């Protein structure tokens, strides 16, 4: 594989950048693989990469219905954080933060990781107390957390509404300085390029139509490009998990819901951090191109359509304007939607299943992007060793039977209001 560096850039400039190697190949599927990963999104690509890198398993195929990076890894708002209170989420995410910090070097691909800090705004004394508790829990788990008062928040985001007559005055906020953003497409491409170079077959435009299970053991998958045998199969298809589960006669604690995001026209740099509104559900950051990247609530009903409805967008942006009044002056550049696995406790599932050789990675709700490296790393471990790693032991499928739920938000099973 050609290494990307300033020297290769200069060298290729002499030939008008016409002779760069392709970043990944377009192979035809082989008859059989050791491991098949279904889903060529961030998590699937990362899983294949860590299978090859950490476990020397390279006879691997990634099967993707569309094109890699065309699903949620290309549709998110690129936020990376580990500001969780519960141990399972906190330790998992913080492990991921470490992988994020090393990712550009590790993949030899600039993923533009930008640890610009995330601020969760508080709008009441009670919320300040809750954030203080969450911050302390984070610090006990070795995660950086700073409780900011109103003046400290105002210094960092003076454009927020600090006037006297607001419905939700800003009391302060909880900041995780090491949180940030990364270039989402680069994450997919970086993992794809490295996985490909280590022998992983990335098979695009290949839809799974069924599974071959014999005596409770997975033996292969049926696809639109023919049957492929496999010793192990991993599902990494957030948004479409229920469709594949139905082919396996499995019913999961997951509903598929629609989430929208949007960006404004680009403006000069003004917002240094990722900021979330504490009196509703709205988050905002500024991209390197200058666009304000915004998102919020789910559309609120089961959906597999990757396009949203205006009432939710209006609701979310109303909250945005309450937080940052200047947003009302900006034109909207793009809006889009993606479909999420909403799990019944708001936390993901990375586990074995009752079918031998079949592994499940799903239920990311709308926190999937930041989890990409840690999810891939732990899922690769679970597949390669046929047992869960301690980092994903809490993300078990049977926690809904044992009662060991990880209900970070405590919202219950009404997935559509989370």
Partner 1 sequence: MLYIFCPHCGSRSQNEFAYGGDATVKRPELNKEISDQDWDNFVYLRKSPRGKHLELWHHISGCRQWIKVERDTSTHEIFKTYKADELTE
Residues near partner 1 (CB under 8 A): 242-243, 246, 251-256, 300-305, 309-311, 344, 400-401, 413-416
Asked if 97 and 80 touch (Cβ cutoff 8 Å), the reply is yes
Q: Which is nearer to partner 1, 58 or 309 (CB)?
A: 309
Please report how close the Cβ of residue 415 comes to partner 1 at its closest, in angstroms. 8
Cβ(64)–Cβ(203) below 8 Å: yes
* CB atoms inside a 10 Å sphere around CB 1: 12
Residue pair 35/236 in contact (Cβ under 8 Å)? The answer is: no
CB of 71 to partner 1, least distance (A): 15
Q: Is 215 left (phi over 0), alpha (psi -120 to 50) or beta?
A: left
Burial letters 245-260, b for 16+ CB under 10 A, else e: beebebebbbbbbbbb
Closest by CA position to 189, among listed 36, 24, 371: 24
Q: How far is the CB of 239 from partner 1 (least distance, A)?
A: 10
Helices (H), 42-147: 42-55, 87-107, 125-140
CA gap 83, 85 in Å, rounded? 7
Identify which of residues 138 and 244 has a Cβ nearer to partner 1 in the complex. Answer: 244
- Smallest distance from partner 1 to CB 344, Å: 5
Select from 46, 40, 88 the least CA-distant residue to 62. 40
Task: Give me the least distance between CB of 300 and partner 1, in Å please.
Answer: 5
Quick one: residue 154, left, alpha or beta (phi over 0 = left, psi -120 to 50 = alpha)? alpha
Phi first, then psi, for residue 174 (nearest 5°) are -105, 130
Comparison of 66 and 311: residue with beta carbon closer to partner 1 = 311
Report the distance separating Cα 254 and Cα 36, nearest Å: 23
CB of 125 to partner 1, least distance (A): 30
Phi-psi category of 69—alpha, beta or left, where left has phi over 0 and alpha has psi -120 to 50? left
Q: How far is the CB of 317 from partner 1 (least distance, A)?
A: 15
Residue 210 CB, nearest approach to partner 1 (Å):
16
Shortest Cβ distance from residue 211 to partner 1 (Å)? 17
* Least Cβ distance, residue 335 to partner 1 (angstroms): 14
The burial of 332, by beta-carbon neighbours within 10 Å (0-12 exposed, 13-18 middle, 19 or more buried), is given as middle
b/e per residue, 20-37, with b = 16+ CB within 10 A?
Answer: eeebbeeeebeeebebbb
What are the tokens at 76? 């998110």
- Nearest Cα residue to 181 out of 54, 289, 309: 289
Which of 68, 78, 61 has the alpha carbon at shortest distance from 371?
A: 78
Q: Name 332's Cβ contacts closer than 8 Å, sequence gap at least 6.
A: 262, 263, 264, 265
Quick one: 292 or 358, whose CB is closer to partner 1? 358
């Amino acid at each position: 594989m050609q290494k990307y560096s300033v020297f290769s850039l200069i060298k290729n400039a002499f030939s008008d950048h016409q002779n760069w190697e392709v970043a990944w190949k377009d192979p035809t599927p082989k008859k059989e693989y050791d491991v098949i990963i279904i889903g060529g999104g961030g998590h699937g690509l990362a899983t294949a990469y860590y299978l090859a890198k950490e476990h020397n398993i390279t006879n691997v195929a990634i099967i993707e219905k569309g094109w890699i990076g065309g699903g949620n890894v290309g549709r998110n708002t690129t936020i990376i954080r580990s500001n969780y209170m519960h141990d399972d989420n906190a330790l998992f995410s913080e492990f991921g933060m470490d992988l994020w910090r090393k990712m550009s070097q590790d993949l030899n691909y600039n993923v533009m990781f930008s640890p610009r800090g995330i601020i969760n705004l508080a709008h009441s004394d009670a919320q300040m107390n809750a954030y203080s508790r969450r911050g302390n829990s984070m610090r006990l788990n070795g995660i950086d957390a700073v409780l900011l008062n109103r003046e400290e928040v105002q210094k960092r985001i003076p454009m927020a509404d600090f006037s006297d007559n607001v419905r939700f005055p800003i009391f302060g906020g909880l900041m995780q300085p090491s949180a940030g953003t990364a270039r989402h497409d680069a994450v997919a491409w970086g993992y794809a390029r490295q996985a490909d170079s280590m022998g992983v077959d990335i098979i695009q435009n290949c839809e799974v139509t069924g599974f071959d299970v014999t005596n409770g053991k997975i033996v292969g998958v049926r696809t639109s490009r023919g049957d492929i045998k496999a010793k192990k199969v991993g599902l990494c298809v957030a948004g479409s998990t229920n469709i594949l589960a139905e082919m396996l006669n499995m019913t999961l604690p997951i509903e598929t819901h629609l989430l929208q995001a949007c960006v404004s026209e680009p403006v000069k740099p003004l917002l240094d951090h990722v900021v979330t509104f504490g009196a509703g559900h709205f988050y905002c950051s500024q991209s390197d191109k200058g666009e304000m990247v915004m998102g919020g609530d789910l559309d609120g009903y089961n959906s597999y359509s990757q396009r949203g409805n205006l009432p939710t967008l209006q609701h979310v942006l109303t909250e945005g304007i309450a937080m940052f009044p200047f947003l009302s002056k900006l034109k909207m550049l793009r809006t889009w939607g993606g479909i999420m696995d909403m799990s019944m406790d708001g936390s993901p599932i990375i586990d074995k299943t009752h079918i031998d050789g079949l592994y499940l990675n799903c239920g990311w709700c709308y926190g999937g992007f930041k989890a990409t490296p840690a999810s891939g790393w732990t899922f690769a471990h679970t597949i390669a060793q046929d047992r869960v790693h301690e980092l994903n032991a809490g993300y078990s499928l049977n926690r809904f039977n044992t009662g060991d739920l990880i209900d970070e938000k405590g919202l219950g099973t009404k997935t559509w209001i989370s």
